[in-house]
Structure 1
């Protein structure tokens, strides 16, 4: 992991994010299973993670990967500023035509239906007090692949905020996009994982807040609803002993599938773990902190729990792939993955653009 992020790492990031999504989703069966222990039992019956061949028709990607690809392919055009935002908006409109059996969330459906790509400001949608879900977080990791360097932080934040707001204009929703993009950039920088949460709260969130104020769009509503995201993250960092960004990480003992279901629920906004913009990246980070370079452990924590398991896995696996590549991952988990070519192709271009 001390080697800088190579093209192979970029490909692994995009590819494994899709694999994690397909595995955590299990064609709707696991995303909607509320018991981590039950999922782990079913996994055992399937012969374990290494025995699963991720391919159609049984293991499709969900809306998470389709929308992540839409973000990545828009970024891969090399456009910037307003031109880029129009491109992303057009990509989301197109992606919504590919949602059969993929279960997009209500805010994503509503937001995209209100986008008017090509018209002035057509990438903006009205403020939605319900737009707290994880739909922006789960499709924004690739922004960190496009803008991986510390000096690009304000660009990364601006792109994450504005693309996040296209469907999730509530700060709990769009700051999730900032978190996912930021964590991917930190993985590319090889920044210690123990510092990521503090970086989000202390570095990225203040930049996001200034940006929202400077744009003059839905400022009053956004300010009113701002504090929950950072407060919940500060609470989580206290729980793990990471408020100052240095370890050691404090873990509950034991912390198996049963205990994780309880813990993840305590992270959540409304009792559905990983469903919201703040806690999908939180569970992903928790899994990365606990799993190290062990793919099976990562999936056990990020992808097989009684919450929004595909959305937490898609974020965690993108960062993990960028850190560790595909080493230690059973080839059957990704070789026949749906949209494999598109995922690798976008990784290729994003790597070139970022260097």
Structure 2
């Protein structure tokens, strides 16, 4: 049996809270580049706490994460599929790079978009990149799960998340992060228990591998680099007691901001938590597992930590919004967001494409 339509406002909250998680974790460059979660939490209290923050310009812009997430969402909102969609996404990613002043796009996203040639045969594909392991594909892919939310649409979700991810991060650790973010958002919409998400990701990886084998002209570099994300997730899920998809998750008794910094850095590829395609969705997932229905606790864990805090915040915020809506979220965190109207338009269009008219 396929999924029943969720309330339309869940799509709105997913898009708005993805941008809120981004803006809060970014804090106009200040917190994304802060290595200390405890320092961020001290500064947050000096601001009066989360409830006192009005996430609006000029102090709380969205980062490159939301600009590129919007590019994905607005491309999907055209209703195009397959090659037409991929060229549309490539065109929008290239155009989005003109809106990066003060947003700190990653070097791999900059390089990847410079290599795209939308409209030309094969122009949405770039060469394999041995260094394309970053989170830039993962942090813009959540809305793919809003567009293709049904279990029966999993092959489409795999294809679109992999192809869109490869447009800048053509390395399995990069583009499988895109798959993870899209899949987790679709599972949010479906109402699948959180404890199952990690095992569902592992179950989906063979579908992604089959897709890459079927579509790549030179598949060997992908095969050589394939195992890292899967092995990282298997270790994480084993530590949480969730490898077989049963719960509850296991957490240490002391898991405050300092302890989370240590854990998150331990999962990372290079010591900068959330920077890579495997650990940005992982940190977001870890925060979702432990935050329950508390937006404040989600932000504490996903957006206010040492490392790439906006990229983990944008993923977690989208999934949390799709599950919980806006209830309990301080209005100031989302009411005056930069690009709010575009976020609302994308939410409305994707809901209509996914589920039809209300």
On whether the aligned pair clears a TM of 0.5, the verdict is: yes
**Corresponding position: 1:72 with 2:103:** no
Cα deviations by residue, 1:255-301 (Å, 9 ceiling, x for unpaired): 00000000001110110000000000000000000001100000000
Give distance in 1, aligned partners of 2:287 and 2:217: 35
Q: Is the 8 A contact 1:190 1:323 kept in 2?
A: yes
SS at match of 1:97: helix
Cα deviations by residue, 1:15-41 (Å, 9 ceiling, x for unpaired): 000011000000000000000000000
Unaligned runs of 5+ in 1: none
**1:207 aligned partner:** 207
**1:20 aligned partner:** 21
**1:143 aligned partner:** 144
**1:237 aligned partner:** 237
Give distance in 2, aligned partners of 1:168 and 1:74: 18
Cα deviations by residue, 1:213-245 (Å, 9 ceiling, x for unpaired): 000233110000000000000000001000110
**1:256 aligned partner:** 256
**1:110 aligned partner:** 111
Cα deviations by residue, 1:145-192 (Å, 9 ceiling, x for unpaired): 000000000100000000000000000000000000000000000000
Give distance in 1, aligned partners of 2:225 and 2:114: 23
**2:304 aligned partner:** 304
Give distance in 2, aligned partners of 1:317 and 1:4: 20
**2:161 aligned partner:** 160
Cα deviations by residue, 1:78-120 (Å, 9 ceiling, x for unpaired): 0000000000000001100000000000110000000000100
Give distance in 1, aligned partners of 2:178 and 2:38: 29
**1:34 aligned partner:** 35
Deviation at 1:3, TM superposition (A): 9.1
Q: Is the 8 A contact 1:115 1:166 kept in 2?
A: yes
**1:222 aligned partner:** 222
**Corresponding position: 1:61 with 2:62:** yes
Q: Is the 8 A contact 1:5 1:323 kept in 2?
A: no
Cα deviations by residue, 1:40-67 (Å, 9 ceiling, x for unpaired): 0000000000100010010000000000
Give distance in 2, aligned partners of 1:296 and 1:96: 32
Deviation at 1:128, TM superposition (A): 0.5
Size of the aligned set, in residue pairs, is: 353
| Runs of 4+ displaced beyond 3 Å | none
TM-score (ref. length: structure 2): 0.98
**1:282 aligned partner:** 282
Deviation at 1:4, TM superposition (A): 5.5
Give distance in 2, aligned partners of 1:97 and 1:218: 32
Give distance in 2, aligned partners of 1:218 and 1:112: 21
SS at match of 1:211: helix
Give distance in 1, aligned partners of 2:257 and 2:130: 33
Give distance in 1, aligned partners of 2:217 and 2:47: 50
SS at match of 1:58: coil
Give distance in 2, aligned partners of 1:154 and 1:217: 20
**1:316 aligned partner:** 316
Q: Is the 8 A contact 1:128 1:169 kept in 2?
A: yes
Deviation at 1:6, TM superposition (A): 1.4
Give distance in 1, aligned partners of 2:144 and 2:221: 26
**2:329 aligned partner:** 329
